[in-house]
Amino acid sequence: MPIDLSVLRNGACPCLSGEQYAQCCGVFHRGEAEAPTAEQLMRSRYSAFVVLDPAYLLCTWHPDTRPAGLDLDPDLWWRRLDILGTSRGGPLDSEGTVEFAAHYTHDGERGVQREKSRFLRVDRRWYYVDGTVG
């Protein structure tokens, strides 16, 4: 499925870094670079949900917990990402956690998904493992 870039506002990255998508999460989505930290991987995964890129989500999911496939809902509009906290997950760490709140609108109703996500770094590459929703 092609990435739907029409959801971007003025080319701004959905992860709210203040950068343009093409120079921010876009480099990860295009495979030009690997996310250097667990937080950056989490931000790029959030952006992948926004631009409807299930291939990126699957390739950044740890093989031990990765689902066979993903069906993303094009009617779910991800509005904002708030990083609530991080633990470890730096360029020299092998594991880390990122707690976030992802705000969305679906069928005219607003909601928030809060999650504390676990990440592992294997062969210098970060992977999403799982998360506790709450």
pLDDT in tens, 17-36: 999 999 999 999 999 999 99
- Note if the pTM is more than 0.85: yes
What mean pLDDT is predicted for residues 42-65? 97
**Which pLDDT belongs to residue 1?**
45
Is pLDDT of 53 > 70?
Answer: yes
Q: Are strands 109-122 and 95-106 parallel, antiparallel or unpaired?
A: antiparallel
**Which one-letter DSSP state was computed for residue 113?**
E
In the chain the domains, ranked by start, together with CATH numbers, are 5-133 (3.10.450.50)
